């Protein structure tokens, strides 16, 4: 009976998401229609959401949804030809989680017939899933801008929902806004006229993959189903930077199978966007920090494209199994890089991930349970657990499995069948494990996999895969050169003069492990590589970290300017932690954050406040 009520893998009935009040075994959202008005003056969305629910036989005449700081005005049941007002209450408020909206049904419902419930409500100006920007915070300086970020559990701050990745549904939307602005969503726009837009998403998605952006944006086409959107001041740079997107998408299809989402568009958001990218179906959000000018940071787009299969099509059932989304996605991202630019580049990116993994394990602690692939989020918000562990440790695990179980061709065949088998479903780590064991049941090597250590043990993994290190070795040799060089050295041997952008990034990452570096040596490096002048955000980030960890006073204002210029957590959090660790700069960093936090999106401000030991954000 429960099987008819959910799209969670059938072997995992009764699964509980500790980050949600949703009861996936008692009721299931099948479709949502959103009717929204975006009010920039009040910084709220007002309107309604209409839900089609499948009610399971065991249901207790209630529907339970997640909400966070929503003003619920009315709840109504569409019953035959009449509309019935329903009673409801809000309870169980939890910090970082939100609260429970319980709706009382008037009678025992027929589990063979879906029910339709309409909720009229408005958001709070402090909705954690929305960022409202004043005109001066945009490139154009004329119109305001608003965008969403719902992952992991912030959709509940914008509409009542079963805010768990275990539940997937289709959605439609009608959105009105100021006439000079455009609305974009993670769905296909089916109709638009001045100030009014209609959308449809036919593929079931979890709540965290709903999205909205409203602003004065324009587009340029990159391919038959791909365009890039941004403010007009940036559109030419964006079109140049992401020109290779259609080729990446085609390569991803070769690896993963057919692309089911209809369109693959990009929206380059204002700088306060907290992530490198967000894999919203049909409309990937990306940070403007990717605009390096030479396409050297476009691998982030390869990552978001890969999510079209791993995460969006096959989804972790809870964020305790986040590695099923992100580990697979990094693994495929690196495969795309290998197909396009060679296996050496794939291995180089994988080795860069290994460097990041070592740094993250060191930061969190080798015995910290959050360094395991499968984590326990009981009494812990997914925002508090967010790190690079599921990305890098997860992709490393898959690379180990690929090498163990027959190599690239065999494993890619498995990968396509896995994705096809679990498409449109939300799955548990055990589902992946059981499917792999059955697929490779005739391969004796499968018995060598230490599942418990890989999945449940904290710290570094038990096995490091074999990689071609030819590109990395140049970086390592350059590190050794600078460590052994005198403070008067201002030149490097010829073999180090033509390193690529990605090698320079990795060189700086490796130098971070050797801090502190003498200030004079940093000055010499700056003179040689012109690090202060480089536009590439990954290089600038690492360079400023080197300066902070080496306590170079002259660079403090540069570091503060960098964290103030954008809200990408990958950059902002480590730099703030570095400044906090430097006792002489700590107070200045804290004061700077307090002055700027209202310009940051909630998830960035929340996590940085934790890094700076600030209570009561």
Q: Three-class SS of residue 267?
A: strand
Q: Is 248 annotated as a binding residue?
A: no
Q: Is 574 annotated as a binding residue?
A: no
Residue 251, pLDDT > 70, answer yes
15-215 has which fold? Immunoglobulin-like (2.60.40)
What pLDDT score does 474 carry? 95
Question: Closest Cα to residue 412, out of 253, 247, 249?
Answer: 253
Residue 162, pLDDT > 60, answer yes
Which residues are identified as catalytic?
A: 304, 391
What pLDDT score does 193 carry? 93
Residue 11, pLDDT > 80, answer no
What pLDDT score does 10 carry? 40
Task: Give dist(CA 215, CA 198) in Å, integer.
Answer: 16
What pLDDT score does 80 carry? 75
Q: Is 337 annotated as a binding residue?
A: no
DSSP H or E segment with residue 391:
helix 389-404
Q: Give start-end residues of each CATH 3.30.2010.30 domain in the chain.
A: 217-308
Q: Is 460 annotated as a binding residue?
A: no
Q: Give start-end residues of each CATH 1.10.390.10 domain in the chain.
A: 309-456
Q: What is the pLDDT of residues 500-537, one digit of tens each?
A: 999 999 999 999 999 999 999 999 999 999 999 999 99
Domain spanning 551-616: which CATH class is it, in words? mainly alpha
Residue 2, pLDDT > 80, answer no
pLDDT band of 451, cuts 50, 70, 90: very high
Q: Is 151 annotated as a binding residue?
A: yes
**Contact present, 608 and 574 (Cβ < 8 Å):** no
Question: Closest Cα to residue 309, out of 338, 330, 337, 290?
Answer: 330
Q: Is 569 annotated as a binding residue?
A: yes
Task: Give dist(CA 99, CA 549) in Å, integer.
Answer: 41
What pLDDT score does 13 carry? 53
Q: Is 303 annotated as a binding residue?
A: yes
Task: Please provide residue 318's backbone torsions phi and psi, each rounded to the nearest 5 degrees.
Answer: -145, 170
What pLDDT score does 82 carry? 85
Residue 617, pLDDT > 70, answer no
Q: What is the pLDDT of residues 324-343, one digit of tens each?
A: 999 999 999 999 999 999 99
**Is 590 exposed, middle or buried, given 0-12, 13-18 or 19+ CB atoms closer than 10 A?**
middle
Q: Is 113 annotated as a binding residue?
A: no
SS3 percent helix, strand, coil of the chain, rounded to 5, is 40, 20, 35
Residue whose entry in the numeric block shows the structure tokens 């997640």 = 66
Q: Give start-end residues of each CATH 1.25.40.320 domain in the chain.
A: 551-616
**Contact present, 278 and 211 (Cβ < 8 Å):** yes
**Contact present, 464 and 396 (Cβ < 8 Å):** yes
Structure tokens at 414: 């498995």
Q: What is the pLDDT of residues 460-502, one digit of tens each?
A: 999 999 999 999 999 999 999 999 999 988 888 887 778 999 9
pTM for this entry: 0.93
Q: Give start-end residues of each CATH 2.60.40.1730 domain in the chain.
A: 15-215
Q: Is 257 annotated as a binding residue?
A: no
Q: What is the pLDDT of residues 75-112, one digit of tens each?
A: 999 987 789 999 999 999 998 899 999 999 987 677 77
Residue 12, pLDDT > 60, answer no
What pLDDT score does 480 carry? 96
What is the rounded average pLDDT of the residues 399-403?
99
Residue 194, pLDDT > 90, answer yes
Q: Is 568 annotated as a binding residue?
A: yes
What is the rounded average pLDDT of the residues 349-366?
96
Structurally, what CATH architecture does the domain formed by 309-456 represent? Answer: Orthogonal Bundle (1.10)
What is the rounded average pLDDT of the residues 310-333?
98
Contacts of 180 (CB under 8 A, 6+ apart): 143, 216
Percentage of the chain lying above the pLDDT 90 cut = 91
Q: How far is CA 84 from CA 107, 119, 177, in A?
A: 11, 12, 30
Residue 232 burial (CB count, 10 A) = 12
Of 3.30.2010.30, 3.30.2130.10, 3.40.1390.10, 3.55.40.20, which CATH number belongs to 217-308?
3.30.2010.30
Question: Closest Cα to residue 128, out of 155, 92, 88?
Answer: 155
What is the rounded average pLDDT of the residues 21-34?
96
Per DSSP bridges, beta strands 71-79 and 82-85 are antiparallel
Structure tokens at 295: 């396409």
């Amino acid at each position: 009976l429960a099987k008819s009520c959910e799209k969670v893998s059938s072997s995992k009935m009764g699964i509980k998401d500790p980050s949600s009040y949703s009861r996936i075994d008692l009721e299931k959202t099948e479709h949502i229609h959103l009717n929204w008005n975006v009010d920039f003056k009040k910084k709220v969305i007002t309107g309604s959401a209409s839900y089609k629910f499948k009610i399971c036989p065991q249901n207790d005449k209630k529907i339970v949804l997640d909400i966070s700081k929503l003003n619920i005005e009315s709840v109504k049941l569409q019953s035959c030809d009449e509309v019935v007002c329903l009673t409801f209450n809000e309870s169980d408020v939890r910090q970082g989680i939100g609260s429970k909206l319980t709706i009382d049904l008037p009678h025992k419902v027929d589990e063979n017939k879906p029910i339709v419930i309409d909720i009229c409500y408005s958001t709070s100006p402090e909705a954690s899933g929305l960022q409202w920007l004043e005109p001066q915070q945009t490139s154009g300086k004329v119109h305001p801008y608003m965008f969403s970020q719902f992952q992991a559990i912030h959709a509940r701050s914008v509409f009542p929902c079963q805010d768990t990745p275990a539940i997937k549904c289709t959605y439609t939307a009608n959105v009105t806004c100021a006439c000079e602005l455009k609305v974009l969503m993670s769905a296909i726009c089916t109709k638009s006229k001045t100030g009014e837009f209609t959308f449809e998403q036919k593929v079931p998605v979890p709540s965290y993959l709903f999205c909205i952006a409203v602003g004065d944006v324009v587009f340029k086409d990159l391919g038959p189903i791909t365009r890039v959107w941004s403010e007009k001041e940036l559109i030419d740079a964006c079109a140049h930077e992401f020109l290779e997107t259609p080729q990446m998408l085609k390569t991803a299809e070769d690896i993963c199978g057919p692309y089911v989402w209809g369109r693959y568009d990009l929206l380059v958001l204002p700088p306060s966007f907290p992530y490198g990218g967000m894999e919203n179906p049909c409309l990937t959000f990306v940070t403007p920090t990717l605009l390096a000018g030479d396409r050297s940071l476009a691998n982030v787009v390869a990552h978001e494209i890969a999510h079209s299969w791993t995460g969006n099509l096959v989804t972790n059932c809870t964020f305790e199994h986040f590695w099923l989304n992100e580990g697979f996605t990094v693994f495929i991202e690196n495969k795309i890089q290998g197909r396009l630019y060679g296996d050496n580049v794939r291995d180089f990116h994988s080795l860069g991930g290994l460097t990041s993994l070592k740094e993250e394990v060191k930061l969190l602690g080798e015995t910290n349970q959050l360094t395991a692939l499968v984590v326990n989020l009981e009494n812990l918000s997914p925002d508090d657990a967010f790190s690079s562990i599921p990305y890098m440790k997860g992709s490393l695990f898959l690379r180990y499995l690929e090498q163990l179980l027959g190599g690239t061709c065999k494993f890619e065949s498995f990968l396509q069948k896995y994705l096809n088998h679990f498409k449109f479903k939300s799955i548990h780590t055990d589902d992946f494990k059981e499917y792999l064991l059955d697929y490779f049941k005739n391969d004796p090597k499968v018995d060598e996999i230490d599942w418990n250590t890989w999945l449940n043990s904290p710290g570094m993994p038990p096995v490091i895969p074999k990689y071609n290190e030819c590109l990395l070795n140049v970086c390592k040799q350059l590190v050794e050169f600078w460590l052994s060089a005198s403070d008067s050295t201002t030149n490097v041997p010829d073999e180090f003069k033509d390193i690529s952008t990605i090698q320079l990034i990795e060189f700086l990452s490796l130098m971070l492990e050797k801090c502190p570096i003498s200030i004079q040596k940093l000055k010499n490096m700056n003179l040689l590589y012109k690090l202060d002048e480089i536009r590439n955000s990954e290089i600038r980030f690492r360079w400023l970290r080197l300066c902070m960890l080496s306590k170079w006073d002259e660079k403090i204002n540069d570091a503060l300017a960098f964290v103030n210029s954008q809200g990408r957590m990958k950059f902002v959090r480590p730099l703030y932690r570095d400044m906090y660790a430097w006792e002489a700069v700590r107070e200045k960093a804290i004061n700077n954050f307090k002055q700027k936090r209202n310009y940051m999106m909630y998830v960035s401000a929340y996590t940085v406040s934790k890094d700076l030991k600030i209570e009561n954000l």
